[in-house]
Structures are given as C-alpha cells and as structure tokens.
C-alpha cells in the first residue's frame, strides 16, 4: 500500500513539475504566431448621409469589431459566467478543465470542454478546429503566451469580436445587428443572455430555427449569472419572462443593394478586395435613406409585362437622384432587385427626346433665341430617313420654345444642323455625358443626335448629373457616392471634395430651364407636375423600347428610365406616362420637407416673349430631300418682343414625344 501511495505521489509530483515546466516554457519561448498583433478579418460598414449604419459587406466572416467599452457589462458577464468563470484569476488555462478534457480523451470518449476564454481565442485565431490532444496542447501553449502579451480586457475584447454566432455573424456587434437589429451596447439582459448561449452550438441553439432550445440555453446562462452573483434573482426572473423580438430578414440592405454594390466596386478599385472584405473599413456615403425609400415606393407605377427566361420581370427600371449643388447621389434604384446588374450606372440606353435639351442649350448659347421661329414640316434628310412627329402631323411655323415643349422632331434636327452636331456633342460632354462616340465608322457626329439616336446610348446616372448642371446654373459636379472612408483604427483614408466646374453660361442655362418648365405645364411632361418650380424632358425611343423622364428642381435632379432588358417594346409607353408618374411620386415624397424654391435668374437675362405666328397648311411635302429652306421669315412680335428675322430652321418631334420612324425621339 505504501508503495502504491509513494508511486502516486511521485506521479503527482512529476505531473506538477511537467505542468510547471510547461508554463515556464510557454511563458518565455518565442512564438512566430504572436510576433504581430491579432488582426481579425472584419466586414466593412456602410453609413448613410446622417451617419447611420445601413449595410455591411457580404464577407466570408460578417464581423464588425467594437471596443470593449461598447459591450454592455451584462454581455461581458454572461460570457464569463457560462464560458470561463475564473477568467480574471487564471493565467490562460483552467487546469481543472484541461485535466478533465485530458482524462476524457485518454479513455476514448469525446473530448470534453473546459477551454478558457483565452484558449478559445487562441484556437479561433491561430489553430484549426480539430479535436485532438496535440491541438489542445498548442492551444494551451498559445493561451499562456497571449496572457503575457495582452491584458485581460484586451483578450476579452478580441474574444467577443472573434466568436461565431450563426447566421453568418462573427462577433457580438454583428450578432446583435443580425438577431435583434440593434447595436450591442443597446442589448437588454435577456438579449445578452441569448447571444451568450449561442457560441456553444450556433445552429442548434438558434432562436430563429430552434426557439425552444434557444430559450433553454438562455435560461442556463441566466442561472449561471445568478449563481456567480452577476445578477439578482429578480433580474433573472424578469429576463426569462421577457419576450424577445428578432430582426426581420427584410432590411435596408435589400433596398440599397444596387447603391451598396456601386460603392463597393469603387472601394475595391481603389484599395483592393481584401480591404473591403477583411479590413473593416467604415464607408460613409451620400445616400439619403428617406429619399431611397421614396424611390422604391414610387415604383408602384411600374407595370409587370412578363417574366423572361432569366426569371427577371420585365420591364426593368432605374431611378437616380442627384443633389445639383454637390453631385451627391441621394437615391439609386438599379432594377427590380432580383439581379446584380445596376441599370442606373451600367445600362447604356437610347435617350430619345430626353437628349434634346443639349441641342437647344447649344443653340441658345450660340445666339439662337427661344423665340426664334422654326418650320415644322416634312423633310427628307437622307435616304430612308424622314422623321415624323408622334401625332403624324406637321405644325408649321413654331417658336423654338414650342418645339421643345411639344418635342417636335424637325425643329430639333434643323437646330442641330444649324449649330453642328459636333457642337451638340461638346455641350453634352461638358455636362458629363461620357459615352458619346466621336470617331470611327459609326459615331455620333451626325443629325440623328438631335433625336437621341446615339451609337452607344447614355446611362441614367449621367443623364441625372447632366440635367443637374441645368439646376445648378451651368455648374457641373461629378456624381459622388462616397464622402469618406475610415480604416478600423480611425485613420481617414479618403475624403471627397465637392469641386463644381462652370461649364455653361448661366444666362443660356436659365433660358433653357425656362423653356423646360413649360414641358411640365403644357407639354409632353404634364404628368410629372409636382406643384413647385420644376423643369424636365420626356424621352421615348423608336418602337417604344425606352421611356425616360429626366427632371429637376433647384434642389434635386432625378432621372427615371424604363425599358426591357431584351429590347422588346413597352406596349406604347412614352416618357410622359409611367416614367413621369414615377418621377412625380418620388420627387413629391423626397422633397416633402424641403421648402420650395425657384430657379435663380442671372442678372441681365430677358426672357423673350413668344412670337405671334400666322398658321398655314403645313402638311404638304414641298421640300426636296436633304435641303433646308433658306428664306428669311418675318415674325410678328409678341407683346414685349421685338421684330426679328431668322433663317427658317426645321425640326421634327411629336406632341407626345414619340417618333414612328427608325430614329430615336
């Protein structure tokens, strides 16, 4: 008996020496693993224009790191009570827990728990999840070294930011947002206990998929907190009785998907994939969530024609709203939300008559008055190209203002011919249209540009930004989606600057805006009227394949486009129909709390009165193909106008903004 006792004491002493040696070796042995601080992969966060979190990147690990001082004491204590009650007393490992796990593994049963919080951090940050003795030894070794390098508070903070909670959420902040739709610092005791119970088995204890097991686990956590004095019996009872409300799966991220993708791509191009998906950037954007909601709500007017072979409902839609004074993108819808193709920034579509303001601006800036008389009559400009108006009638002598308001086609063509297509291209480019083709066999340096017949097309974002120049007295701002990017340490990596550039004469702009206001009061865009100063232009392409309304107030410029991804016609939809209605509904809601303001008239600008025109029979073809009338027409002045002569210009459009020819209107 004495020999057995002596052997046992010897083994215990030897074990103690081994343990002591292990601790000493672990304390002082160098480790390449700890040569650098632990940097946990983290999802980047997106904020709206008011600094509210609106989305996180879809990283492999959806993690939003937060400092320990933002983790409520109830959540810290819940983890300590249920995972490692001696956390503040041990030096990295709980010997009793290790011994229990070691003996269990020796006898062939499943490896038991007992890992300290520090060991769990070591395992998650540096090791695999293999359940072996060797991994357990490495885990303990690294845990002791972690305790030498970091304080208990630093270790607990890293642990709380590291652990997995299910539903793709890593760390307590991401978990709080995922399960409860709130920040960790705002969690109640009951919510803290629920989250603290998840890491043991996130799938099994998930309150979303297994509410009974989740509640039972929450009660275990609360009982442990009560046992070790972190809460009172009354607090435990109240927390167990609290009915938890979980976040719904439909959130802001879904309605903002196109905008978030647009911002993400910009950051990836600037800083790389890893920076966005692993380094936890804070990305501050220009989006106004109230305006974004208004944009999505306005789509109630969007019809459903059919579902194509790609399972996309047609037609599709894009809405983009830009602040004219800054270029800030305030709202963006890139489609119906069922795919990744952002039509607001990637779809180059034919603009039809929505392109005509560039023609008229070029004319005004080159000395042609809104009161200039142009003759709308049938003309052949080239073989197989004899554009018509939507109503298939000719309107004779009309002022340039009337031609734009009613979107007549022949006047627009003749004005483009007068100033030159290349001049129209120059103005469009200065205002931000970058897709125009100026060289090669197929290019835009021809008269078709007057009706929006382009080689490639334009994007809704560029149209919205270009019309914002008109709202901003001729000053262009490059569209901006991101105002600031901050790294996880608080260092500002990028900050945008608003750099307006005066690209067009403000006096010419005002005269054009004055004309475009009447588009909405008596022209093709009356369906877009919103009861405050606004201007805009409809656009409809041949065969009804694209329908546009682009309009603005002094505060906001918005483009609405509707079209079929597969190029099918839109059931005779024009820009004055659904696009105008969507624009109206969006702008009314977006500007509901913004006082109405008028467009600023530059000093010295005189708006010419409309001329009095004697009407004639205008529906007879009397001009040879390709030739422009050169006779000077007498104009009878209006009340405040002056007698004026001008070469008779020709154009063609339609009273409802649609051409039935093979050109774009």
The residues assigned a catalytic role are 83, 353
CB 650, CB 377: distance < 8 Å: yes
Q: Which two tokens stand for residue 337?
A: 């939300």
Q: Residue 637 carries which DSSP code?
A: -
User: Would residue 647 be called left, alpha or beta, if left means φ above 0 and alpha means ψ between -120 and 50 degrees?
Assistant: beta
CB 462 within 8 A of CB 435: yes
Query: Phi/psi at 260 (nearest 5 deg)?
Result: -65, -40
Q: How many angstroms separate the CA atoms of 585 and 571, rounded?
A: 22
Positive or negative CA dihedral for 353, 442, 316, 319? negative
Strands 53-56 and 45-47: antiparallel
Instruction: Give the chain's length.
Output: 665
- Burial of residue 506 (CB within 10 Å: 0-12, 13-18, 19+) is middle
* β-pair type (282-285, 45-47): parallel
Report DSSP letters for 523-537, one per residue: STTGGG--SSS-EEE
Q: Which two tokens stand for residue 199?
A: 């890491």
**Inter-residue long-range contacts of 203-209, CB under 8 Å, 24+ positions, other chains counted:** 203/166, 206/166, 206/167, 207/179, 207/244, 207/246, 208/167, 208/179, 208/246
d(CA 542, CA 545): 7
Q: Is 648 helix (H, G, I), strand (E, B) or coil?
A: coil
Supply 21's token pair: 């040696």
- Reduce the DSSP state of residue 330 to 3 states and report it: strand
Determine how many CB atoms are found less than 10 A away from the CB of residue 312.
18
**Residue indicated by tokens 């019996």:** 233
How is residue 312 written in tokens? 């996309």
Q: Say which residues have a Cβ less than 8 Å from residue 60's Cβ, sequence separation at least 6.
A: 41, 277
């Amino acid at each position: 008996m004495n020999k057995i006792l002596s052997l046992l004491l010897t083994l215990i002493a030897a074990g103690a020496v081994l343990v002591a040696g292990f601790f000493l070796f672990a304390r002082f042995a160098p480790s390449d693993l700890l040569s650098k601080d632990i940097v946990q992969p983290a999802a980047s966060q997106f904020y709206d224009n008011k600094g509210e979190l609106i989305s996180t990147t879809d990283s492999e690990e959806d993690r939003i790191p937060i400092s320990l001082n933002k983790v409520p004491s109830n959540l810290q204590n819940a983890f300590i009570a249920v995972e490692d009650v001696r956390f503040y007393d041990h030096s990295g490992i709980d010997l009793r827990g290790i011994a229990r796990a070691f003996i269990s593994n020796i006898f062939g049963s499943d490896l038991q728990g007992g890992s300290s919080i520090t060991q769990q951090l070591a395992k998650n940050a540096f090791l695999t999840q293999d359940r072996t003795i060797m991994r357990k030894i490495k885990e303990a070794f690294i845990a002791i070294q972690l305790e030498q390098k970091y304080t208990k508070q630093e270790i607990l903070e890293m642990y709380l930011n590291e652990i997995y909670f299910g539903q793709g959420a890593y760390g307590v902040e991401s978990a709080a947002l995922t399960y409860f739709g709130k920040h960790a610092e705002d969690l109640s005791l009951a919510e803290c206990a629920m989250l603290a119970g998840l890491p043991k088995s996130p799938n099994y204890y998930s309150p979303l998929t297994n509410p009974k097991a989740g509640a039972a686990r929450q009660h275990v956590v609360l009982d442990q907190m009560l046992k070790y004095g972190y809460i009172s019996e009354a607090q435990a009872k109240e927390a167990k009785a609290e009915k938890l409300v979980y976040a719904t799966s439909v959130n802001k991220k879904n309605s903002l998907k196109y905008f978030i993708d647009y911002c993400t791509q910009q950051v990836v191009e600037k800083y790389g994939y890893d920076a966005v998906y692993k380094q936890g950037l804070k990305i501050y954007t220009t989006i106004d969530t109230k305006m974004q909601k208004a944009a999505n709500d306005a789509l109630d007017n969007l019809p459903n024609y059919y579902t194509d072979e790609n399972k996309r409902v047609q037609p599709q839609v894009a809405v983009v709203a830009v602040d004219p004074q800054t270029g800030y993108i305030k709202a963006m819808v890139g489609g119906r939300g069922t795919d990744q193709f952002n039509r607001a920034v990637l779809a180059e579509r034919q603009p039809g008559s929505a392109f005509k303001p560039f023609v008229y601006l070029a004319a005004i800036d080159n000395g042609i008055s809104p009161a200039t008389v142009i003759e709308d009559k049938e003309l052949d400009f080239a073989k197989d190209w004899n554009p018509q108006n939507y109503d298939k009638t000719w309107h004779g002598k009309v002022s340039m203002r009337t031609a734009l308001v009613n979107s007549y086609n022949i006047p627009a063509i003749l004005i483009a011919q007068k100033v030159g297509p290349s001049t129209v291209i120059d103005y469009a480019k200065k205002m931000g249209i970058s897709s125009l083709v100026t060289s090669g066999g197929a290019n835009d340096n021809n008269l078709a540009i007057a009706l929006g017949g382009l080689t490639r097309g334009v994007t809704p974002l560029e149209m919205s930004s270009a019309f914002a120049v008109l709202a901003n007295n001729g000053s262009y701002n490059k569209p901006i989606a991101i105002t600031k990017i901050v790294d996880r340490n608080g260092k500002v990596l990028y900050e945008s600057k608003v750099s307006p550039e005066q690209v067009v004469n403000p006096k010419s702009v005002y005269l054009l805006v004055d004309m475009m206001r009447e588009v909405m009061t008596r022209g093709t865009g009356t369906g877009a009227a919103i009861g405050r100063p606004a201007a805009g232009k409809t656009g409809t392409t041949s065969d009804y394949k694209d329908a546009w309304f682009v309009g603005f107030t002094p505060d906001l410029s918005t483009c609405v486009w509707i079209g079929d991804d597969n190029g099918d016609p839109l059931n005779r939809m024009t820009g004055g129909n659904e696009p105008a209605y969507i624009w109206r509904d969006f702008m009314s809601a977006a500007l509901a709390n913004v006082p109405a303001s008028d467009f600023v008239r530059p000093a010295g600008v005189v708006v010419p009165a409309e001329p009095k025109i004697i009407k004639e029979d205008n529906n007879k073809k009397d001009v040879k193909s390709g030739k422009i009338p050169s006779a000077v027409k007498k104009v009878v002045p209006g009340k405040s106008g002056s007698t004026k002569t001008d070469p008779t210009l020709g154009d063609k459009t339609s009273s409802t903004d649609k051409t039935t020819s093979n050109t774009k209107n």
